[in-house]
Chain A
């Protein structure tokens, strides 16, 4: 299998605070993880690619100083939303590629619903 977990599943924070979201691959080692954001009734938007042991690659328009990504081990990537604002409220989903399969399949975590008040 290829199980990816995320924590927390839901978080409410006040404007100006920071929130950390964890993404873990439970039964495989993921050298690459991806972070997506999805607003209601819209498609997934790739925010960044997280590489173990190196800096994340951010998509155009995503502020790297606001969305801090740390891929500290082969099973854990974290996304920290700094100085959160109400417009950051969204569904954040990570995914991981299992290199052991030799294919490009990506498996998604269950997502984290962030509400900034």
Chain B
């Protein structure tokens, strides 16, 4: 079992809709959880971090963490074409442990 799992996508949503990205992890001892956005040919950019169960909102982004279910999600409200990218879920062990990423395509 891979340590951090994500659906590779692509996930296609129309402009203005809510995009929902999901991630599961295997190490119950994980304490820090992150979402990175990576545009093609660029390095990852940190967009959300979450450390405790529940929701954390920042602008159009909401991260959700459920440690009992070992599940992290990212919601993007009012999706824009500029949100089209690969979204990487990362969980700390010693270093960041990345999922393979979900490709999001927001269509005008």
Contact = CB atoms under 8 A, between A and B. Distances in A.
Given A34-B95, A43-B98, A49-B95, A105 B45 contact: no
B42 A44 contact: no
A82 interface: no
Contact of B98 (A44, A105, A107, A109): A44
Interface string B37-80: 00001111110010100000000000000000000000000000
Interface in B3-36: 31-32, 34, 36
Nearest to B31: A104
Chain B interface residue count: which class? 20 to 34
B49 A43 contact: no
A104 B33 CA distance: 9
Interface in A93-117: 93, 95, 103-111
Contacts of B41: 91
Closest 4 CB pairs of A and B: A104-B32, A43-B100, A111-B43, A108-B43
